[in-house]
Amino acid sequence: MNDDQLHDMASGLHAAAIRLLRMVRREDRHTGISPPRLSALSVLVFGGPMSLAELATAEEVRAPTMSRIVEGLVKDELATREADPDNRRKVRIAATEEGRRRLEGGRERRVRALRERLRRLADSEQRALARGVEVLERAVR
Amino acid sequence: MNDDQLHDMASGLHAAAIRLLRMVRREDRHTGISPPRLSALSVLVFGGPMSLAELATAEEVRAPTMSRIVEGLVKDELATREADPDNRRKVRIAATEEGRRRLEGGRERRVRALRERLRRLADSEQRALARGVEVLERAVR
DNA sequence: AACAACCATTAGCACAGCTAACAATAAGGA
DNA sequence: TCCTTATTGTTAGCTGTGCTAATGGTTGTT
């Protein structure tokens, strides 16, 4: 595909992604967790325990900001924060079981809402989208 | 496609959309406009002038929140706010030329960043993704 | 004319983003 | 070893964004 075609595709994909996430985000109010905390928790659940700096980098936020987000997660018992035994400057932040459950419940609601949308498509459209999603997953990795 | 297959596709699409937007969002720092203001400005540019309630609904925030976001846009001369002549309870909010320019510049940077990613894909992958994007655009409308 | 409904703003709270400054620990060189 | 420097995280203090409750105007209704 040439530059203009790629540009048009990127433009359409960008707009669609915005609409998609705006749609599913409505489901998050059921979790009772704020968006920044939910997002950080997601990184902990899928990425495993990590230091504050790692978590801040993953969320594209500065260390002081993440420090307070973690503080909130710990207060609500969704995560734990303990000193790293190897390097006592570092902290090791991890999701709790309750954190895992709450995150997974929220994510499941998002995915189900999206699935209901996709269900309305014709079967040929569903298959075309499925192939597109496979490609997209590699492209954004 | 059956329920499980749709669920898997929805799950993959959801994760990919998150990664995609997190990626392109980095370009926004060049605009010098905060994310909520940029998003509201985008609705004004693409949706045309509208009332505060309409803008708040589009952004899925409450009226007082949008009132202050608009206040910021007006202060920076990215939008105008004037009384609706037909119904003086309402306000008519519109993007300024400068607002249009700043938004379009930022969006263009986002799309270009995404395009560069898509460029790396094989031609057959690009075509498959293009078809998927067409389907997706209808699904989220 | 009185009352109700609607639209936006203001007040006041909690939280999220930032930079600057600090405290604690680790690493390295004289 | 001891002093210096780098690294890691937190605290302080600011701006901005989200909410609910309350208020001020305007419009519509009876």
Specify the pLDDT at position A73: 98
Q: Is B118 on the interface with A (CB under 8 A)?
A: yes
Per-residue pLDDT in tens (0 to 9) along chain A, 141 residues: 999 999 999 999 999 999 999 999 999 999 999 999 999 999 999 999 999 999 999 999 999 999 999 999 999 999 999 999 999 999 999 999 999 999 999 999 999 999 999 999 999 999 999 999 999 999 999
Bases in strand C with any atom closer than 7 Å to a protein CB:
6-12, 15-21, 24-27
- What residues in B contact A117, CB-CB < 8 Å? 139-140
CB contact under 8 A, A10 and B115: yes
Specify the range with the lowest mean pLDDT, choosing from A68-77, B21-30, B122-131: B21-30
Specify the pLDDT at position B118: 97
Specify the pLDDT at position A63: 98
CB contact under 8 A, A125 and B135: yes
CA distance, residue A96 to nearest chain B CA (Å): 22
Helix (H, G, I), strand (E, B) or coil at B60: coil
CB contact under 8 A, A9 and B111: no
CA distance, residue A53 to nearest chain B CA (Å): 18
Q: In whole angstroms, give the CA distance from residue A21 to residue B139.
A: 13
Q: In whole angstroms, give the CA distance from residue B95 to residue B38.
A: 11
Protein A89 CA to nucleic acid C30 C1', in Å?
A: 26
Specify the pLDDT at position A120: 96
Specify the pLDDT at position A119: 97
Residues 23-52 of A with CB under 8 A from B: 23-26
Per-residue pLDDT reduced to its tens digit, B57-82 = 999 999 999 999 999 999 999 999 99
Specify the pLDDT at position B4: 96
Specify the pLDDT at position B116: 96
